[in-house]
Amino acid sequence: MSSVAGAEQGCIVSAIDIHEPSLKVARIRAECYGLSIDIRNCNATDIAEEFKGVNFDLIIFSASIEHMTHSERMKAMRVSWNMLSKGGVWAISHTPNRLWYYDCHTSLLPFFHWLPDDLALEYVKNSPRTLYSQLARVHDREAAMEFLIRGGRGISYHEFALSIMDPEKLNVYSSLDGYIRKNPLRYLAWRMSDKYRYQKILRKAGPKIHQAFYEELLSFAILKD
């Protein structure tokens, strides 16, 4: 829907995905809204070749980076940042934070994002979600591992440090959680919550890193200076 929203505001929109059935739905949706959107079947790692010589003013990874392998996400982040125009915005939304103590996205298990992949594959049998609890019984371990990773593994500011730049230097100028907490009642509820206390502990390790990197879900925008 972010593609539709952008096109409705007059943006020239290009959208990619590796899942053709999803793209089919996206094309139908764009047609229903009477919008022209460039929709392509493409891996985010290949955007430099797919959009050769093109620079973008806004790049959004919407609930997607967590479904990539480590090598894919690192390349996609680096290449997309390089394709962003100066003064452009790079955004991420609804991506689980590896640093968080509970996995609300995939396994619904505590500390799951902290586990190395091999251990996570074995421990996921304790997940209340049958889709994942059965993975430990799959004989093809390689296939099971890929399913787990594609299902969604958390990321953190460490990927940003290695693929883009020191996160302390990133100009995070907007975050979804920060915007929501502009409401005084929501802000008060957050200040009284365990989430706030946990975030305070995380920030002690990196006080100069923007608060957005310590939220349960990473949803923020970075301005390329």
- Say if residue 157 is in the same domain as residue 147: no
39 close to 65: Cβ distance less than 8 angstroms: no
Q: Distance from CA of residue 81 to its chain's centroid?
A: 14
- CA gap 225, 219 in Å, rounded: 19
- Say if residue 214 is in the same domain as residue 160: yes
Compute the half-sphere exposure of residue 121: CA atoms within 13 Å on the CB side of its CA.
Answer: 18
User: Count of domains in the chain?
Assistant: 2
The domain of 202 spans: 43-96+153-223
Residue 47, domain member (yes or no): yes
**Closest residue by Cα to residue 65 from 144, 171, 150:** 150
Q: What is the pLDDT of residue 1?
A: 53
Q: What is the pLDDT of residue 9?
A: 87
pLDDT along the chain (225 residues), means of 10: 81 90 90 91 93 94 94 97 97 97 96 96 96 90 94 96 97 95 96 96 96 97 97
CA angle 208, 171, 195 (to 5 degrees): 55
Domain boundary among 151, 170, 185: 151
217-223: strand order across its sheet: 56-62, 84-96, 217-223, 171-175
Residue 23, domain member (yes or no): no
Q: What is the pLDDT of residue 10?
A: 85
94 close to 62: Cβ distance less than 8 angstroms: yes
Domain boundary among 118, 151, 184: 151
65 close to 90: Cβ distance less than 8 angstroms: no
Q: What is the pLDDT of residue 137?
A: 86
Residue 122, domain member (yes or no): yes
- Say if residue 146 is in the same domain as residue 166: no
Q: Distance between the two ends of the chain, CA-based, in angstroms? A: 28
- Say if residue 160 is in the same domain as residue 216: yes
Instruction: Quote the tokens at residue 29.
Output: 């949706």
